[in-house]
Amino acid sequence: MKAVVMAGGEGTRLRPLTSNQPKPMVPVVGKPCIEHVLELLRFHGFEEVVITLAFMPQAIRAYFGDGASLGLQIDYSVEEQPRGTAGSVRLAGARLDDTFLVISGDALCDVDLDALVDTHRRRGAAATIGLKPVDNPLEFGIVVTDDDGRVERFLEKPSWGQVFSDTINTGIYVLEPEVLRHIPGDRPFDFSKELFPLLLEMGRPIYGHVLDGYWQDIGTIEQFRQANFDALDERVRLDVPGLRLRGNVWVGDGVAVDAVENIAGPAFVGNNCRIAGDAQVGPYAVLAPGVTVREHARVERSIIDAATYIGRSAVIEGAIVGRACDVRDHVRVHEGAAIGDEVTIGAEASVLPGVRIYPFKEVETGAQIYESIVWESRATNRLFAHDGVRGLVNVDLTPETAVRVAAALGTALDRGARVVASRDAADACRMVQRALVAGLTSTGVHVADLRVSPAAVTRHVLKTQGLAAGVHVGQTSGDPELVEIRIFEPPGIQLTPGLQKEIEKHFTRRELRRAAFAEVGDTTYPARVRESYAHDLLDTLDAAVVSARGFRIALDVGYSAASFTLPLVLGPLGVEAVTINAFFSGAGVAADPVPAAAERLVSAVGADLGVVLDRAAERLLLIDEHGREVSPERTLLLFVHLLAAAGRTGAIAVPVTATDAIDRIVAGSGLRVVRTPHSLSALTRAAAAEGVIFGGAPTGGFVFPDIVPGYDGVGALCRLLELLAVAGRPVSELVARLPEPTLVRVSVPCPWARRGLVMRLLGEQLAERTLDLMDGIKAFDERGWAQALPDPDEPVVHVFAESATRAGSEALAQELAAAVEAIVQGETAAASNRVEAPQASS
């Protein structure tokens, strides 16, 4: 049988290690990773190998030649243009006339390939996929099989809400030549994203086989370092070159070392290394051939590539240093730093944690390197949290970070695109927004600056003027000193996962487009955008009906920018508004609005209702005419009830976690319910679809997409007044007629590393029930439903449950929460017992 080794990877996440070499050539204990893969193939009896190449193909071809030195017959297939994983194998199809194996050249493994081939032949499969359980499946493709191993479902690089298993695709396949006929030759084509789903749809036999042994992708700096450490710990069986001393120290040929005792295992010292007297090579040090370590220097938990010089008294801890680097005397390289090839670091310099230095750079003597060279400063691994980029001003969210976020967005957009920007009134928001404008224009993107305006106006401009994106800087509720950058996409929806990942890619890789002098974007200041928003909003309302009702309302504006737009719509509607907390000077910190003030105001002025807007003027809290707060969940039901009673037709979008009372309210009306994943991005995308007239969540956010497909407190207030005017009844009476929600929500702490395991085991234990896998796992039985949903930002799993009674909902929630806790604690048997067939509710 022949084997195909895919070695076309560029390895952008591994830079600077892969800046001038292909990803499969990065070294693991003295050999390129792909060499370990080829030795594994030889061990399992493969003799003929085809290596597919793309990025820097000559580096691999020159290293291995015809394969005679490894006892293999190696041929090469070079992509002239990107073909994708499946397309690259199809390119070599003329040499594949029988069953063949495909394996990645950039994943370290010692799996049993014979067992994989045997499974393939025994089951008569067209394709057999090597599978492996992992702690964090987000970066891989999830594969679900039935009890016989036949593949049922694929999901490529899921979000936590989509994780229903922790069994991932390793990129090791056994294939029949016939499958190559289904791969087009004129465009890139991927195995897991396109070919396998196509074969599954065609009914071809595709099986999965869980591999025994070690498997580790080396796609990131952390994974690369871990692969080397695992090799030293012998967690993976490799042919490590050199003589083994004291059980866990490998020393190559020609090594010059004054005292072997100065090498503490586990460690690897390659051929022709020189280790001076009093130098220390500590645990988990990997020295490639030709490394020199001078007197009193110390290296531990670090990988040093070939021909690098480490000067006297230099200390390298937990770092990676490339080929032929010159590290002078008394240099300190800290944990997590990564240094590319042929870098010179001057004496007494210090490279701080996490800094990346790209190849061929020179660091001056005594320099303190806090930022990566030559790119921007280091940032956190996760850029987006909740619905945007947020942090404490000048602590987490600095002007430098804001510039880089904006430059990453601008790089993701076309050169010359137009973006609309706005902000809240606070001085901190102004500072961050100006940094965003600078970052965007630096990439050749033009900016329409609305200055102080609600986010809804920004969405409206984005929608009506056909711009490429929108950004809004505002304070967050809960902590008034937190500032958040939110990004919108046409036609005004929340940032989608696709563009978010593109921005994060440019941000973390520090690969940003820079415009030339004459191509820097311009900044304009559009006039009367608030008036345009108010005009379009009024055009969607029956102003005569609202005016005839003669509403008096108590309104807490929450110091939001809605203070500028509310008079433009409430005046023409004939609404008398008694307003508090209207304007904020921009100096100092304004407290969050509290319902109690509006409740007292309703009673004091005899208002028909009260409304409290949040700081972003996007969510609203309703107060009835008696000064009693209406919960956001019941406000959602009120909107649905009023729309149904008014005879409106179309779809309403709500999260999959929202109460089923919504479905009961719309029964028999012209409305239908569309469920979406539990995220603002998914809700706004659904609300922007054809035929959707309303979207809402039990958090006080409501969407009327004919104006803007996003939360808009001002628009929601105006629509509420119109619907109340048509109904002709007070708020308290309408709310009293609504069904009482029984939905319960609890949160269970869950370490990041066990989330995939939790979702897989829950899926197995709940398999007998009816399941909805739109977002997390939602299980139904005769009592109601319960749903487990991992939080994308926090190490918790949220559990939602609903039954006919509050007590029944709490019982369902506690049952599922106990099962999650048991899995987190390793009590899988107990978890199975807790989710057995349900008992009848009392």
pLDDT in tens, 236-280: 888 888 888 877 888 988 888 887 888 887 999 988 899 988 899
pLDDT value at position 192?
80
Burial of 804 (0-12, 13-18, 19+ CB in 10 A): exposed
Instruction: Indicate the CATH number for domain 389-523.
Output: 3.40.120.10
φ, ψ at 811 (rounded to 5°): -65, -45
pLDDT at 830 over 50: no
pLDDT classification of 296: cutoffs 50, 70, 90: very high
Say which residue the tokens 């973006």 belong to: 419
Residue 93 scores a pLDDT above 90: no
Q: What is the DSSP string of 420-485?
A: EEEE-SSHHHHHHHHHHHHHHHHTT-EEEEEEE--HHHHHHHHHHTT-SEEEEEEEPSS-TTEEEE
* Residue 86 confidence (pLDDT): 86
Do the beta carbons of residue 452 and residue 561 sit within 8 Å?
yes
716 sits in the region (left: phi over 0; alpha: psi -120 to 50; else beta) called alpha
Confidence band, pLDDT 50/70/90 cuts, at residue 753: low
Query: How does pLDDT run across 614-653, given as a tens digit for each residue?
Result: 888 999 999 999 999 999 999 999 999 999 999 999 999 9
Burial of residue 522 (number of CB atoms within 10 Å: 0-12, 13-18, 19+): exposed
Distance CA 726, CA 761 (A): 51
Give 11-60 pLDDT, tens digit per residue: 788 888 888 888 898 889 888 899 999 999 999 999 899 998 888 888 88
In the chain, where the domains are located: 2-217, 241-369, 389-523, 532-736, 744-834
440 CB neighbour count, 10 Å cutoff: 28
Instruction: Quote the CA–CA distance of 305 and 246 in Å, as a whole number.
Output: 24
Q: Alpha-carbon distance 774 to 154, whole Å? A: 14
pTM exceeding 0.75: no
Phi/psi for 104 (5° steps) reads: -80, 140
Handedness of CA 532, 592, 382, 826 (dihedral sign): negative
DSSP letters, 169-230, are EEEEEEE-GGGGGGS-SSS---IIIIIHHHHHHHT--EEEEEPPS-EEE--SHHHHHHHHHH
CATH 3.40.225.10 fits 744-834, yes or no: no
In CATH terms, the fold of domain 532-736 is Alpha-D-Glucose-1,6-Bisphosphate; Chain A, domain 3 (3.40.120)
Q: 593 near 556, Cβ under 8 Å?
A: yes
Neighbouring-strand partners of residue 6: 52, 104
Mean pLDDT of 123-149: 77
Contacts of 336 (CB under 8 A, 6+ apart): 221, 318, 319, 353, 354
With 60 as the cut, is the pLDDT of residue 159 above it? no
pLDDT over threshold 50, residue 381: no
Please tell me the CATH code under which domain 2-217 is placed: 3.90.550.10
Q: Is 833 helix (H, G, I), strand (E, B) or coil?
A: helix
Q: In the CATH hierarchy, which top-level class contains the domain 241-369?
A: mainly beta
Q: What are phi and psi of 385, to 5 degrees?
A: -140, 145
Count of other CB atoms within 10 angstroms of residue 238: 21
Please give the pLDDT value at position 161: 53
Kindly state the tokens that stand for 111: 């799996």
Q: Give 527's contacts (C-beta < 8 A, 6+ positions apart).
A: none
Residue with tokens 């990131």: 220
**Percent of the chain's residues with pLDDT above 70:** 93
Assess contact for 322 and 341: CB atoms under 8 A: yes
In whole numbers, what is the pLDDT of the chain averaged over residues?
87
Task: Please name the amino acid found at residue 185.
Answer: G
Judged by DSSP in three states, 609 sits in strand
How would you class 375 by CB atoms within 10 Å of its CB: exposed for 0-12, middle for 13-18, buried for 19 or more? middle
Encode 287-305: b = buried (16+ Cβ within 10 Å), e = exposed.
bbbbbbbbebbbbbbbbbb
Indicate if 389-523 has the same CATH topology as 241-369.
Answer: no
Query: Does residue 793 have a pLDDT over 80?
Result: no
CA separation for the pair 406, 314 (Å, rounded): 38
